[in-house]
Amino acid sequence: MDVQEIIGLTAAQAIAAIERGDLDAVELFSAYRRRAEEDELGAFTWVAEHLPADMHADGPLRGVPLAVKDLFCTAGIPSQSGSKILEGYLPPYTATSVARLEHAGATIVGKTNQDEFAMGSSNENSAFGPVLNPWDRTRVPGGSSGGSAAAVAAGLAPWALGTDTGGSIRQPAALCGIVGLKPTYGTVSRYGMIAFASSLDQAGPLTRDVTDAALLYRHMVGTDPNDATAVGHPEEIRLPTAERLDGLRLGVPTELTSGEGLEPGVLAAFEATLETARGLGATIEECSLHSAPHALSAYYVIAPAEASSNLARFDGVRYGLRREADDLVSMYTGTRHDGFGAEVKRRILIGTYALSSGYYDAYYGRAQRVRTLIAREFASVFERCDLVVTPTSPGVAFELGAKTADPLAMYLNDSFTVPMSLAGIPAISIPCGLSEDLPVGFQLAGPAFSENRILDAAHALERAIGFDGSPARTRTGATS
């Protein structure tokens, strides 16, 4: 196979080609390593210099290269979470989810750029520079897993690992025209993930198609003695085969499919996908999530509050950046002032305020009660609907710098993804068309542990839609 043929394969197709003897795992890794080295999108913060000596090409993933978000600890490989305060940090251990994928045969080809500590919706908050959208390099790829999404969309990696706290897998997947799965909270271990908001963070795959998402996810799930919240999955994750949606009930929440900020082109693509679902045998009905409009406000109290606690460990004492000073307080102050970016500082301040004496009940306590209401409303909707569907993002990829001066406008990009994160339920984004020549995402969410149902439905829709993501890879200058 020539390079162009190799790059055109999905991960599942590459595995099949290796098993047939048509492709060598070393050849596959070398092709992607060269492409990652030539990255012009800012997608990578580190690229492997050579093939690792402990490559497990005999595992079920057959050595297929994997791009890993910068916030996953990887032994001996820079793990910086997009932050200057961790620049050059080499962990002594590897995150459980990454280690499981390596054991299954995945091979790390590079670490991907991200918003600092996963705080952002555009990948412009990284200490290592912004990531460019492969569909239009003047636009953002989404965030915070923008480097992972851009790498997959541009054909710089066959698949990638990201994290989703409030939409950080699904939103960049939508803006880059690929598939992104946020699993049920607790199905994947968080051990070794540099924490943002511990009750929300969850690892998941970013891939070219739904089959690859299922394949990567099935090797990530499981309990972990190092993470008490890792409960695994009650079902074996199956590779999806569904071609129809007969009898599937899809709920369309009015609060998440209308309103200010939803671009007409996105709404048109969403409605066209609903018609496609009808044609495949699904029934569509309106439903209501009354508290969903308050989800964003609750999220931006809960997540910063947890961040203010988690990021207290970065003080210049044990690892990372250290600014020497005459006294301890001055050292802390100088280190954190120089090490953290503006968005991280903003969220630490918000979170610390929300947790402070006299304000805890008024802000954090109230936000948690909203979170409970949202979870209950989803449970009620799922009594009469199998899945809930929405646009993934209210708009397509916006221009670099367009929203950096307006945090609220930036936060609104997560308005359709945050409710599922607060409820801890699984959701997937698949590309469903174009608006203004840019990808649009379609989101499917289900009850806890319903990943197999979601993957089947997404697979059937994916086949019927027939979205061609190749223009993204073509525009990055792929050559044979």
pLDDT in tens, the chain (480 residues): 888 899 999 999 999 999 999 999 999 999 999 999 999 999 999 999 998 887 888 899 999 999 999 999 999 999 999 999 999 999 999 999 999 999 999 999 999 999 999 999 999 999 999 999 999 999 999 999 999 999 999 999 999 999 999 999 999 999 999 999 999 999 999 999 999 999 999 999 999 999 999 999 999 999 999 999 999 999 999 999 999 999 999 999 999 998 778 999 999 999 999 999 999 999 999 999 999 999 999 999 999 999 999 999 999 998 899 999 999 999 999 999 999 999 999 999 999 999 998 888 899 999 999 999 999 999 999 999 999 999 999 999 999 999 999 998 999 999 999 999 999 999 999 999 999 999 999 999 999 999 999 999 999 999 999 998 764 444 443 332
d(CA 175, CA 209): 15
Structure tokens, 62: 């057959």
Our answer to whether residue 345 is catalytic in this structure is no
Identify the active-site residue in 121, 144, 308, 429.
144
Domain 3-248+452-475 in CATH 3.90.1300.10:
yes
Identify the active-site residue in 69, 111, 182, 403.
69
Our answer to whether residue 182 is catalytic in this structure is no
d(CA 364, CA 305): 8
* Region class of 155: left (phi > 0), else alpha (psi between -120 and 50), else beta: left
d(CA 460, CA 285): 19
**What predicted TM-score, i.e. pTM, was given to this entire model?**
0.96
CA 248 vs CA 254, 282, 285, 453: distances in Å: 19, 5, 11, 10
d(CA 73, CA 186): 18
Our answer to whether residue 308 is catalytic in this structure is no
Structure tokens, 294: 């308050």
d(CA 100, CA 108): 12
pLDDT at 260: 72
CA 43 to chain centre: 14
pLDDT at 318: 87
Q: Count of residues for the chain?
A: 480
Residues 66, 203 contacting (CB under 8 angstroms): no
CA 159 to chain centre: 12
Any idea where the domains of the chain sit in the sequence?
3-248+452-475, 293-368
Put the strands of the sheet holding 159-164 in their side by side order.
44-47, 107-112, 65-69, 159-164, 202-207, 179-182, 427-435, 438-445, 387-391, 249-253, 283-287
Cα–Cα–Cα angle for 430, 17, 475, nearest 5°? 45
Identify the active-site residue in 126, 145, 168, 189.
168
